[in-house]
C-alpha cells in the first residue's frame, strides 16, 4: 500500500492536526478516560467511495459524506490523514503486481503523476499530455490533471473512449478508479455529434441527430443566435431543421469513424444508413457564445476542414522545400492536427525557439488554401514573410503584407496575407486603401487562419478578429499558454482544443534548445534610495526607486562588460521606459520601445545580428514576443511587468535557440536583477513560477564577485548616487509607470484605470494624496500663465479661470 501526499498542504495542516489531537487528549484526561487506540474492522463502502471520487472530478454532483477508510490502522490515523490531506489522501491505493514497469500513478481525483525515469517515459508522456493538462514538469516527476476539456481534446485528435481507458490501465501502477473510467466515458461520449461548419460565408451547426439539435435550440443562448432559413431552403417539417443529403455524404466520407468522433459501431452504422445531415444557421456575431454554450451543455462543437475535398476555395500552389527538415516533435504536432485526413482547429504549444513558425508553415503547405497569418507586431510580420520564403516554395507575388507601412494584395485568386491583430481589430476610421483591403479580408473565406502568440486572443480587442474573419480552420501557436487574467480557458471555444504540447526539458536534453543557466541577482539598495523607498507614499516613485537602484545599475553594467568580453550578444529588458532610456544613454547602447518606428527597429535588430561591434541592445516589453534573434545568448532583466509568468518565459525564449555547447556547460544565461528587501522580490518569485513548473531552477546570487575590483563602473561615488536620486524624485509618479501597450496580455484590469492623454487645453491630472498636497512630499504651489492671450489681471495659478464658461455660471461671474 502506498500514499501519495500533497506536500504543499502538509505544512498548513499538520499544526492543526496536532492541536486537535492535543485537545482531544486533554478532554479525555479531564473525564478520567484513558486514551486508547481503537482498531476499525469495518468494510470498505464502495458506493460511498465511488460517490466521493465522482464529486472530486465533477463538482456539480451532490455532496455526501467522505468515504469510510478501513484497514489495519487506528481510527485516529485515517482521521488525521483526512484532516491533513482532505480529498487528496490515497493511502488505500494498492499497487498492481507489474507496477515496476508502469510509469503512471492515476489518482481517483483525476490527477496523474508520471515518472520520467521509466523506460517507456516517452510513450507515457505522449499519452498523458494528450488526455490531461500539465500542472508541473520538473526533471523526475510530472504532475497532470484530467479535465473535461483535455478529454475533449483527446477525442478530437482521434482517441476513442475505450483506447483512453485501456491505456490508463496499461500505464497505471494502481488500478484505475471506476469513477475515473465513468468520467472519461461521460466526457467523450458526446464529442463529434455536433459540428460547426462554414459554407459560403455562413455558419451552420450540423448533426446527424436531429433530436440533439432540437435540444440545443431550446437553450436561450443558442436560440438567440439562430437564423431562420430562407423560404426556398429544404426543411424537415417535423423538426424545422435544414436537411441536406450531399453534405452528409461528404461529411461521412471524410470522417475516420470512431477515431474521429468517438462513436461506437452501432452509432456509426446509424449515421451511414441515415445519410442525412440536419442543421440550422447561426449569426456570425454569436459564434463565440454558441461554442462556449455547447461546451457547457456537454456537446462541444467539432471543427474540422476537409481541405482536399473543398473545391469552393482555389488551391494555393505551395509546398515545403526539399531542404526543409521537420523535427520529430514538429512532425508529431502536425500529425495530431491532420490525423483523420482533415484539418482540425486547435492550439499547438512549443517552447520559444523550438520552431513554431515551421509548424505553421507546414500546416499551410498541407491545407494548400488561402492563409491569413496574424502577428503581434510589424517586425514579426516581416519575420513571418521571411520564414515563408525560407521554408516553402511560395512565390513572392502570392504573399502580401498589411501593416501601417505596407498595404499589399496578392495577385492571384489565392495567397497568403500577413498582418497584425491590431490592423484587423481596429474599429476606427481607416484610409480608403486600408478599407478596401479590410473588405477583401472580411469578405472571403480563408482556408487557414494562423494565430501567432495565440495567448493574446482572449484580450477584449483582439477576440474581435475571430468575428470579422471567416476561416475553415484555425491554428493557434504559442509557447506560454498562460495569462494573468484567467482568460486562457476561453481559447477552448475561441480557437479549439490543445492538440499538442512539448516538454521544455526534453527538447533541451535532445539538443533542440539551448542549455540556460537562470540566476536571480540580489542588489542591495543604497541607504539614500532605501530611505526614500520607505518614506514615499507614491507607488510609482517606489517602483522607480528600486528599478533605478544604483547597485542594480552597477550589476547590470558589470554583467554587460563580462559577457561582452566573452563575445556574447546581450539583450537588456526593461518595462519602465524612464529606466530603459537612462540605462541605455549612460551606457551608450541602442534601445527600442513603443514609439520606435518599424524601420528603426529593423535597423537596430539587423545591426545587433550582423555587426560584431553591437553586442548589447536595450528593449522594452515590445520585444517580449515574436522577435527572432537567434544570435542572443544573454538576457539581463532590470524591470518587468509585476508578477507576469508569461513575460518571464517569453523573455527566456529569446535565448533558447540551439547553440553550440562547450564541455556540456551552459551556453545561454538569464539574469533577473532584483532590488533586495523591496516589493520587487515578491514579484520575482511569482514570475518564476511558470519556468519552475517547466523544470528550470533559479540560482540566487547575493554578490557578484569582482564587481568592486578594477573600478570604472557608474555611480561609484556618493555624489553621483545623490544626483541620480534627485533625478528620480524629480521624474515623479508618471516616470514610475510601466510602458503601456494596446491590449496588454498581462493587464488584468483590461484597460480600466489607464491614464489617457489630456485633451488639448485641459489641465493634466496625476494621482496624489493629502500628504502630498499639504507639502509633506516637498510639493509646492507654483503660479503660471497660459500664454500671451491670458488676461494680465486674471491672477494665474493652477486655479486660473477658463475663458469658456457654461451659460449657467455666466450671470454669477458677471461675464
Asked if residues 542 and 736 have their Cβ atoms less than 8 Å apart, the reply is yes
Range scoring the smallest mean pLDDT among 246-255, 464-473, 613-622 = 246-255
What order of strands is seen across the sheet that includes strand 141-145? 104-106, 111-115, 141-145, 133-136
Q: Is the dihedral of CA 169, 174, 175, 178 positive or negative?
A: negative
Q: Where is average pLDDT lowest: 55-59, 61-65, 115-119, 390-394?
A: 61-65
Task: Provide the strand spans (E) within 235-303.
Answer: 242-244, 277-282
Three-state DSSP class for residue 739: coil
Interatomic CA distance for residues 172 and 118, integer angstroms: 12
Asked whether the predicted pLDDT for residue 65 surpasses 80, the reply is no
Residue 592 main-chain phi, psi, to 5 deg: -130, 130
- pLDDT score recorded for residue 1: 30
Q: Is the pLDDT of residue 60 over 70?
A: no
The pLDDT, as a whole number, for residue 83 is 60
Least confident of 78-87, 282-291, 643-652: 78-87
The secondary structure of residue 765, as a DSSP letter, is -
- Evaluate whether 338 touches 344 at the Cβ level (below 8 Å): yes
For cell 529569446, name the residue: 654
Residue 463: the pLDDT is 86
Residue 222 reports pLDDT greater than 90: yes
pLDDT at 332 over 50: yes
CA distances from 457 to 10, 202, 374, 464 (A): 38, 22, 10, 9
CA angle (339, 341, 342) in 5-degree steps = 95
Q: At residue 757, does pLDDT exceed 90? A: no
State the pLDDT at residue 12: 41
Q: Are the CB atoms for 505 and 526 separated by under 8 Å?
A: no
Please state whether the predicted TM-score (pTM) of the whole model is above 0.85: no
Bridge partner residues of 344 (DSSP):
304
Residue with cell 487562419: 449
Looking at residue 248, what DSSP letter applies?
H
Distance CA 470, CA 375 (A): 17
Q: Which residue has the cell 479590410?
A: 438
- Per-residue pLDDT, averaged over 101-118, amounts to 93
* Among the listed residues 144, 150, 116, the one whose alpha carbon sits nearest the alpha carbon of residue 130: 150
Q: What is the 3-state secondary structure (H, E, C) of 389-428?
A: HHHECCCHHHEEEECCCCECCCCCCCCEEEEEHHHHHCCC
What does residue 387 show for φ and ψ, rounded to 5 degrees?
-65, -40
Best mean pLDDT range from 39-48, 246-255, 396-405, 767-776: 396-405
- φ, ψ at 289 (rounded to 5°): -65, -35
DSSP 8-state assignment for residue 468: H
For residue 234, name the pLDDT band (cuts at 50, 70, 90). Answer: confident
Split at pLDDT 50, 70, 90, the class of 644 is: confident
**650 pLDDT higher than 70:** yes
CB 248 within 8 A of CB 208: yes
Supply the pLDDT for residue 360: 96
Whether the CB-CB separation of 557 and 589 falls below 8 Å is answered with no
Give pLDDT, residue 661.
Answer: 64
pLDDT bucket at 741, cuts 50 / 70 / 90: low
pLDDT of residue 47 exceeding 90, the answer is no
- Over residues 698-714, the mean pLDDT reads 85
Share of the chain above pLDDT 90, in %: 43
- The span from the CA of 656 to the CA of 694, in Å, is 14
The answer to whether residue 280 scores a pLDDT higher than 60 is yes
Residue 378 has pLDDT above 90, yes or no: no
Q: Could you report the per-residue pLDDT of 419-462, keeping only the tens digit for each? A: 999 999 988 888 889 999 999 999 999 999 999 999 999 988 88
Length reported for the chain: 815
> Which DSSP symbol is given to 784?
-
Query: What's the gap between Cα 803 and its chain centre?
Result: 51
Q: Residue 392 is placed in which grid cell?
A: 516553402
Query: Which is more confidently placed, 663 or 294?
Result: 294
Distance from C-alpha of 368 to C-alpha of 394, rounded to nearest angstrom:
11
* 662 band by pLDDT with thresholds 50, 70 and 90: low
> For the segment 129-167, what is each residue's pLDDT rounded down to a tens digit?
999 999 999 889 999 999 988 998 898 888 889 999 999
Please report which helix (H) or strand (E) contains residue 471, including its range.
strand 470-478
- The lowest-confidence range among 38-42, 269-273, 731-735, 784-788 is 38-42
Give dist(CA 177, CA 116) in Å, integer. Answer: 23
CB-based contact 517:541 (threshold 8 Å): no
**How far is it, in rounded angstroms, from Cα 271 to Cα 193?**
10
Of 187-191, 365-369, 527-531, 696-700, least confident by mean pLDDT is 187-191
Decide if pLDDT at 362 tops 90.
yes
In what side-by-side order are the strands of the sheet with 698-701?
Answer: 591-592, 616-619, 570-573, 634-637, 668-675, 516-523, 698-701
What's the angle, vertex CA 811, arms to CA 809 and CA 815, rounded to 5? Answer: 95
Q: Is 98 exposed, middle or buried (0-12, 13-18, 19+ CB in 10 A)?
A: exposed
Sign for the CA dihedral angle at 415, 421, 423, 428 comes to positive
Dist CA 103 CA 116 (whole Å): 8
> Does residue 76 register a pLDDT over 70?
no
Check: CB of residue 653 under 8 Å from CB of residue 502.
Answer: no
The pLDDT mean for the chain works out to 79
Say if residue 392's pLDDT is above 80.
yes
In angstroms, the Cα distances linking 502 to 144, 329, 331, 355, 495 are: 14, 7, 12, 11, 19
More confident residue, 667 or 568: 568
pLDDT of residue 233: 83
The CA radius of gyration of the chain, in Å to the nearest whole number, is: 31
Q: What is the mean pLDDT of residues 740-765?
A: 45
- The Cα-based distances of 806 to 59, 468, 611, 813 in angstroms read 59, 43, 62, 11
Average pLDDT over residues 42-56: 41
Grouping H, G, I as helix, E, B as strand and the rest as coil, residue 255 is coil
C-alpha cell at 791: 488676461
CB atoms inside a 10 Å sphere around CB 814: 5
Which phi and psi angles does 687 have, rounded to 5°? -65, -35
Could you tell me which residues come within 8 angstroms of residue 621 by beta carbon, excluding any fewer than 6 positions away?
Answer: 573, 575, 641, 647, 738, 739, 741, 744
Residue 63 CA, distance from chain mean position: 33
Residue 184 in contact with residue 161, Cβ under 8 Å?
yes
Cell numbers that stand for 627 in this block: 522577435
15-46 in b/e burial notation, b at 16+ Cβ within 10 A?
eebeeeeeeeeeeeeeeeeeeeeeebeeeeee
* Statement: residue 815 has pLDDT above 60: no
Q: What is the DSSP string of 677-733?
A: TSHHHHHHHHHTHHHHHTT--EEEES--TTTTSS---S--SHHHHHHHHHHHHHHHH
Strand partners, 617: 571
Tell whether the model's pLDDT for residue 269 goes beyond 50: no
Residue 229 to residue 608: CA distance in whole angstroms: 59
Provide the sign of the torsion angle of the four alpha carbons 393, 399, 403, 405, taken in this order: positive
Q: Which of 498, 494, 497 is nearest to 291 (CA)?
A: 494
Task: Tell me the C-alpha to C-alpha distance, in Å, between residue 310 and each of 199, 342, 343, 496.
Answer: 10, 11, 12, 21
**Please, are residues 685 and 648 in contact by the beta-carbon 8 Å criterion?**
no
pLDDT at 31: 46
For cell 516616470, the residue is 735
| Residue bearing the bigger pLDDT, 24 or 690 | 690
Q: pLDDT tens digit string along 547-590?
A: 999 999 999 999 999 999 999 999 999 999 999 999 999 999 99
* Paired residues of 402 in beta bridges: 407, 419
State in Å, rounded, how far the first CA of the chain is from the last one: 92
Amino acid at each position: 500500500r502506498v500514499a501519495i501526499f500533497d506536500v504543499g498542504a502538509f505544512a498548513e495542516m499538520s499544526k492543526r492536526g496536532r492541536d486537535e489531537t492535543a485537545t482531544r487528549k486533554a478532554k479525555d484526561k479531564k473525564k478520567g478516560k484513558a486514551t486508547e487506540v481503537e482498531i476499525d474492522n469495518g468494510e470498505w463502502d464502495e458506493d460511498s467511495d465511488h460517490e466521493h471520487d465522482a464529486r472530486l472530478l465533477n463538482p456539480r454532483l451532490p455532496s455526501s459524506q467522505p468515504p469510510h477508510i478501513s484497514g489495519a490502522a487506528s481510527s485516529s490515523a485515517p482521521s488525521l490523514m483526512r484532516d491533513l490531506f482532505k480529498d487528496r489522501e490515497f493511502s488505500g491505493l494498492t499497487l498492481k503486481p507489474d507496477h515496476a514497469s508502469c510509469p503512471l500513478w492515476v489518482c481517483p481525483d483525476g490527477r496523474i503523476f508520471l515518472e520520467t525515469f521509466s523506460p517507456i517515459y516517452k510513450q507515457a508522456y505522449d499519452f498523458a499530455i494528450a488526455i490531461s493538462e500539465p500542472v508541473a514538469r520538473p526533471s523526475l516527476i510530472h504532475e497532470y490533471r484530467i479535465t473535461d476539456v483535455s478529454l475533449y481534446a483527446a477525442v478530437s485528435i482521434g482517441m476513442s473512449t475505450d483506447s483512453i481507458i485501456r491505456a490508463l490501465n496499461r500505464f497505471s501502477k494502481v488500478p484505475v478508479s471506476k469513477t475515473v473510467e465513468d468520467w472519461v466515458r461521460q466526457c467523450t461520449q458526446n464529442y463529434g455529434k455536433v459540428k460547426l461548419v462554414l459554407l459560403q460565408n455562413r455558419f451552420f451547426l450540423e448533426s446527424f441527430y436531429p433530436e440533439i439539435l432540437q435540444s440545443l435550440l431550446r437553450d436561450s443562448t443558442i436560440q438567440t443566435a439562430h437564423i431562420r432559413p430562407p423560404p426556398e431552403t429544404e426543411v424537415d417539417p417535423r423538426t424545422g431543421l435544414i436537411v441536406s443529403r450531399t453534405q452528409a455524404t461528404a461529411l461521412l466520407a471524410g470522417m475516420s469513424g470512431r477515431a474521429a468522433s468517438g462513436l461506437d459501431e452501432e452509432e456509426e452504422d446509424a449515421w451511414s444508413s441515415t445519410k442525412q445531415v440536419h442543421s440550422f444557421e447561426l449569426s456570425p456575431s454569436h459564434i463565440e457564445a454558441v461554442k462556449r454554450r455547447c461546451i457547457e451543455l456537454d456537446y462541444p462543437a467539432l471543427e474540422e476542414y476537409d481541405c482536399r475535398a473543398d473545391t469552393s476555395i482555389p488551391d494555393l500552389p505551395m509546398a515545403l522545400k526539399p531542404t526543409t527538415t521537420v523535427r520529430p516533435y514538429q512532425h508529431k504536432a502536425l500529425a495530431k492536427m491532420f490525423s483523420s485526413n482533415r484539418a482540425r482547429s486547435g492550439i499547438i504549444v512549443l517552447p520559444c525557439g523550438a520552431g513554431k513558425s515551421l509548424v505553421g508553415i507546414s500546416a499551410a503547405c498541407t491545407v494548400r488554401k488561402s492563409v491569413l497569418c496574424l502577428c503581434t507586431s510589424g517586425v514579426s510580420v516581416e519575420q513571418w514573410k521571411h520564414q515563408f520564403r525560407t521554408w516553402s516554395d511560395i512565390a513572392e507575388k502570392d504573399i502580401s503584407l498589411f501593416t501601417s507601412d505596407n498595404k499589399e494584395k496578392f495577385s492571384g485568386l489565392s495567397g497568403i496575407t500577413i498582418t497584425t491583430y491590431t490592423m484587423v481589430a481596429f474599429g476606427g476610421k481607416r484610409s480608403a486603401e486600408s478599407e478596401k483591403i479590410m473588405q477583401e479580408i472580411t469578405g472571403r473565406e480563408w482556408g487557414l487562419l494562423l494565430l501567432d502568440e495565440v495567448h493574446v486572443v482572449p484580450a477584449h480587442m483582439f477576440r474581435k478578429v475571430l468575428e470579422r474573419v471567416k476561416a475553415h480552420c484555425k491554428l493557434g501557436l504559442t509557447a506560454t499558454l498562460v495569462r494573468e487574467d484567467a482568460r486562457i480557458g476561453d481559447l477552448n471555444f475561441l480557437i479549439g482544443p490543445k492538440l499538442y504540447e512539448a516538454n521544455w526539458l526534453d527538447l533541451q536534453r535532445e539538443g533542440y534548445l539551448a542549455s540556460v543557466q537562470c540566476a536571480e541577482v540580489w542588489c542591495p539598495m543604497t541607504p539614500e534610495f532605501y530611505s526614500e523607498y520607505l518614506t514615499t507614499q507614491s507607488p510609482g516613485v517606489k517602483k522607480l526607486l528600486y528599478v533605478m537602484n544604483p547597485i542594480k545599475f552597477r550589476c547590470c553594467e558589470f554583467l554587460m562588460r563580462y559577457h561582452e568580453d566573452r563575445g556574447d550578444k546581450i539583450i537588456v529588458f526593461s518595462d519602465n521606459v524612464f529606466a530603459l532610456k537612462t540605462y541605455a544613454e549612460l551606457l551608450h547602447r541602442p534601445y527600442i520601445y513603443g514609439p520606435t518606428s518599424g524601420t528603426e527597429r529593423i535597423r537596430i535588430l539587423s545591426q545587433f545580428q550582423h555587426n560584431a561591434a553591437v553586442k548589447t541592445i536595450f528593449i522594452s516589453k515590445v520585444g517580449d514576443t515574436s522577435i527572432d534573434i537567434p544570435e542572443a545568448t544573454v538576457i539581463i532583466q532590470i524591470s518587468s511587468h509585476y508578477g507576469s509568468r508569461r513575460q518571464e518565459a517569453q523573455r527566456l525564449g529569446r535565448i533558447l535557440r540551439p547553440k553550440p555547447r562547450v564541455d556540456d556547460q551552459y551556453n545561454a544565461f538569464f539574469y533577473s536583477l532584483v532590488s533586495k528587501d523591496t516589493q520587487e522580490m515578491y514579484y520575482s518569485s511569482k514570475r518564476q513560477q511558470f519556468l519552475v513548473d517547466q523544470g528550470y531552477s533559479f540560482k540566487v546570487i547575493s554578490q557578484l564577485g569582482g564587481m568592486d575590483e578594477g573600478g570604472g563602473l557608474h555611480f561609484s561615488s556618493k555624489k553621483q548616487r545623490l544626483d541620480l536620486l534627485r533625478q528620480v524624485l524629480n521624474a515623479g509618479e508618471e516616470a514610475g509607470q510601466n510602458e503601456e501597450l494596446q491590449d496588454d496580455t498581462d493587464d488584468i484590469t483590461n484597460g480600466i484605470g489607464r491614464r489617457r492623454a489630456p485633451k488639448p487645453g485641459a489641465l493634466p491630472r496625476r494621482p496624489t494624496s493629502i500628504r502630498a498636497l499639504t507639502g509633506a512630499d516637498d510639493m509646492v504651489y507654483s503660479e503660471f500663465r497660459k500664454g500671451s492671450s491670458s488676461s494680465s489681471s486674471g491672477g494665474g495659478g493652477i486655479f486660473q479661470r477658463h475663458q469658456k464658461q457654461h451659460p449657467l455660471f455666466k450671470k454669477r461671474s458677471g461675464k
